[in-house]
A and B are shown apart, each in its own frame.
Chain A
Amino acid sequence: MFFNSLLSNFAALEVGQHLYWQIGNIRLHGQVFLTSWILLGALLVFISLGTKKMENDPKGLQNLLEFLWDYIRDLARTQIGEKVYRDWMPFIGTLFLFVFVSNWGGALIPWRLIKLPSGELGAPTADINTTIALALLVSLSYFYAGLSNKGWRYFEYYVHPTPIMLPFKILEDFTKPLSLSFRLFGNILADELVVGVLVFLVPLILPIPVMFLGLFTSAIQALIFATLAAYYIGEAVEEHH
């Protein structure tokens, strides 16, 4: 009986329930777009406020944004290399900011207070569609980066240092997006589930350390995603001698 009630309680967490939007023939997960629009809207407002009056002596928000910019530049520069990091910095930075804002927004804002007809609001990165979209963009990016920088010589990478590597390198092209998307998805979903279950079982105090752990994980995941994306691009544009 207890097990049964626990199962129905898991159902109360509404795992895998979605708010469907039907547009013509296609179906969308509405809750993902709703939260992402709210969070990205907040991000854009924050950034426009910070860059509204740029000065040579930075004050307030501009300081924070410059720190963020510097952080992203360092990340891109160390992974991609001095030569082409500039082209990819906006993409890496956007990945970082999108994942970070989504993770933290999902963890910090009490979305549960907003009742939806079906499903519930949460981190957009806890939806497999979002993470696969990001991972595929990374795949496309590193292919594009390699081909545009080295032309057909990009494929030398597959037989570097020996042709024995060829099957592994081809396999890597599939495992890279797979691991990127599932790592992010799994971490964020697991965090939401753990916090949800703990809140349901012990509504007081106990979930708080787990929530902090979740914030930590969220930030780390954003950093890992951006760093790996930059690393893959760097690997693709690297010159072998």
Chain B
Amino acid sequence: MLAFNVFGATEGGLFDINATLPLMAIQVVALTYILNSLFFKPVGNVVEKREKFVSNNIIEAKNKLSEVKKLEADLMTQLQSARSEAQRIVGEAENESDKLYKEALELANNEANASKEKARLEIESQTSAARDQLSKQADDLSELIVNRLILEK
């Protein structure tokens, strides 16, 4: 008997609609405002602040990365030019030293040749002088010998 009262009862039943409905609606609306101030706003603030922070950091990092890349490229070109400059300077220095070496060599050769020539001339003159002296002495000696031989006679 009770079971048949489930749907057809004047009081109660599954589809018994009464003042519970509007009061529940009011309760849900109130809950919306309470949850908005207790939950959605504060959590939203924190989450959005963090999202902003993260995206700002990402942008900043990207900017820094591009700056680093630019600086790296700059550095590479500088390095390149410095390297070629250094090569140029080294080449120049090599040429110069080569030139200097050749000049010095030539100078030294000339000097050596000159002093050799001078020495040769000196030797020659001394030889001839010594020869002259020798022949003079030989003359003197022969004269002396001749004189002695004459005197003994």
Partners in one complex: yes
Q: Which residues of A contact B (CB under 8 A)?
A: 7-8, 10-11, 15-18, 20, 26-29, 32-33, 36, 40, 44, 47-48, 51, 54-56, 58, 62, 65-66, 69-70, 72-73, 89-91, 93-95, 97-98, 124, 127-130, 132-134, 136-137, 189
B20 engages A11 (CB within 8 Å): no
- B20 CB contacts on chain A under 8 angstroms: 28-29, 32-33, 127, 129-130, 133
B25 CB–A CB distance under 8 Å: yes
A28 engages B19 (CB within 8 Å): yes
Give CA–CA (A16, B16) in the complex, Å: 8
Q: Which of A10, A62, A98, A124 has the most CB of B within 10 A?
A: A98
Q: Which residues of B contact A (CB under 8 A)?
A: 2-7, 9, 11-25, 27-29, 31-32, 34-36, 38-40, 42-44, 46-47, 49-50, 53
B36 engages A90 (CB within 8 Å): yes
CB distance from A3 to the nearest CB of B (A): 10
How many A-B pairs have beta carbons closer than 8 Å: the answer is: 129
Give CA–CA (A156, B34) in the complex, Å: 35
Give CA–CA (A21, B19) in the complex, Å: 10
Give CA–CA (A89, B39) in the complex, Å: 11
B47 engages A70 (CB within 8 Å): yes
Give CA–CA (A43, B139) in the complex, Å: 150
B46 engages A54 (CB within 8 Å): yes
Q: Which of B13, B19, B29, B43 has the most CB of A within 10 A?
A: B43
Q: Which of B21, B44, B46, B49 contacts A132 (CB 8 A)?
A: B21
Given the interface pairs A15-B6, A94-B31, the reply to whether A28 lies near B43 with Cβ below 8 Å is: no
Please list 30 pairs of residues, one from A and one from B, whose beta carbons are closer than 8 Å in the complex, sorted by A's number: A10-B6, A16-B7, A17-B12, A20-B11, A28-B20, A32-B24, A33-B27, A36-B24, A36-B27, A44-B34, A55-B46, A56-B46, A56-B49, A58-B46, A65-B39, A66-B43, A66-B47, A69-B39, A69-B40, A90-B40, A94-B31, A127-B20, A128-B15, A128-B17, A129-B17, A129-B21, A132-B17, A133-B21, A133-B22, A136-B25
User: Which residue of chain A has its CB nearest to the CB of B7?
Assistant: A16
- B12 CB contacts on chain A under 8 angstroms: 16-18
Give CA–CA (A189, B4) in the complex, Å: 18
User: Which residue of chain B has its CB nearest to the CB of A56?
Assistant: B50
Q: Is the interface of B mostly helix, strand, loop or mixed?
A: helix
Given the interface pairs A16-B16, A18-B16, A29-B20, the reply to whether A137 lies near B42 with Cβ below 8 Å is: no
Given the interface pairs A11-B2, A28-B18, A29-B16, the reply to whether A90 lies near B50 with Cβ below 8 Å is: no
Give CA–CA (A10, B7) in the complex, Å: 13
Given the interface pairs A91-B32, A189-B14, the reply to whether A65 lies near B43 with Cβ below 8 Å is: yes
A51 engages B16 (CB within 8 Å): no
Given the interface pairs A129-B18, A137-B28, the reply to whether A10 lies near B34 with Cβ below 8 Å is: no
- B27 CB contacts on chain A under 8 angstroms: 33, 36
Given the interface pairs A32-B24, A54-B42, A66-B47, the reply to whether A98 lies near B18 with Cβ below 8 Å is: no
